[in-house]
Amino acid sequence: MFFRWDWLRPQLSVPIVPTLGPVHPDALAVGIFEDVLRAAETGDFLPYDKDRRWGGEKDEKVLRGDVVHQRERTLIPTLIRRGRGTVKVFAYGLLDSVVEEAAELAAKLAAVHDVAGARVVRPLGPETTHPRGTRIQLKDFTVGPCPDPGGPVRPVTAWPTAVQETFAPFAEAMAGDGLAFLHTRMQAGRCGPVLAAAIEERIVGAIGPMEIQTDAIGRPQLMPQYFAVLPEARGQGLGRVLWRAAMHWGQTHGAAYQLLQTEVDGPSDRLCQAEGLTSLGFGYTALV
């Protein structure tokens, strides 16, 4: 075993794992860190990796030989070859100096691997007073009902054909939110249902795909979705209706929870906070 849990556990202010992202606090254990090291050697997806649903090969891998693991700090670098490439160093530790050490390591490894990007990922606990980056939020489906919100929301395939045909221009308009990519997956029949909101026979918002996958300890997790509403259709409560419809779908299909990453103080962040989700902490990524 590479990691000492008595060293690593006190450093984990937020349940963020390199290459996997946020995990449920109950699943946070030394075994999950050992798993990402083994996956770096094989190049395979872990069975509970959320990215495996997209197919292909795992793009981000831990640079196992460059991991720094000490009582006061743990630095775990990863390499992404996509595009011009990026090295990210996940900096775990209670001292602020861990960020400087991580930045030095990221710059060094970016040069060694001849990639353009070098970044430091700094997990910050939920008590952080002036957070930046993304907030990690937990929706627990076991604590109360998620009723159907009604409204003009249904799966894309349940809308009349003329309405379905408006999804393509909607997806193109919201390409920056990942909807164009999602549309390609829908066309290939390689993803779960997508919920869409329509006004006057035109799709103006969507959330999906709706998929459930078991996590590292076997609990059913509702996978993260792409989520967008056209700018001209905002301010009518459609985003909230779409989100509640997604939560209703997740609960009725047996999910135990969902983890979400929202940009601090962004629209989705404010929505999730208003809906009573639990904040687990923050992840801040800094360029080197």
Per-position pLDDT tens, the chain of length 288: 899 999 999 999 999 999 999 999 999 999 999 999 999 988 889 999 999 988 888 999 999 999 999 999 999 999 999 999 999 999 999 888 999 999 999 999 999 999 999 999 999 999 999 899 999 999 999 999 999 999 999 999 999 999 999 999 999 999 999 999 999 999 999 899 999 999 999 999 999 999 999 999 999 999 999 999 999 999 999 999 999 999 999 999 999 999 999 999 998 899 999 999 999 999 999 999
Q: How far is CA 150 from CA 19, 104, 146, in A?
A: 37, 52, 12
Buried b (16+ CB within 10 A) or exposed e, 178-205: ebbebbebbeeeebbbbbbbbeeebbbb
| Gap between the Cα atoms of 126 and 277, Å rounded | 13
| Gap between the Cα atoms of 106 and 115, Å rounded | 11
Would you say 220 and 212 are in contact if contact means Cβ atoms under 8 Å apart? yes
Which tokens go with 228?
A: 């967008």
CB within 8 Å of 235: residues ≥ 6 apart: none
Entry pTM: 0.93
Residues 257, 260, 265, 266: is their CA dihedral positive or negative?
negative
| Gap between the Cα atoms of 199 and 21, Å rounded | 35
Name the residue with tokens 């190049």. Answer: 43
pLDDT at 56: 82
pLDDT at 250: 98
pLDDT at 57: 84
Q: Classify residue 254 by burial, with Cβ atoms within 10 Å: 0-12, 13-18, 19+.
A: exposed
Name the residue with tokens 């393509």. Answer: 168
CATH 3.40.630.30 range(s) for the chain read: 143-255
| Gap between the Cα atoms of 281 and 261, Å rounded | 10
Domain 143-255 bears CATH identifier 3.40.50.2300: no
Name the residue with tokens 């390199």. Answer: 18
Would you say 140 and 111 are in contact if contact means Cβ atoms under 8 Å apart? no
What are residue 8's phi and psi, to 5 degrees? -75, -40
- Cis peptide leading into residue 209 (ω within 30°): yes
How is residue 266 annotated by DSSP?
S
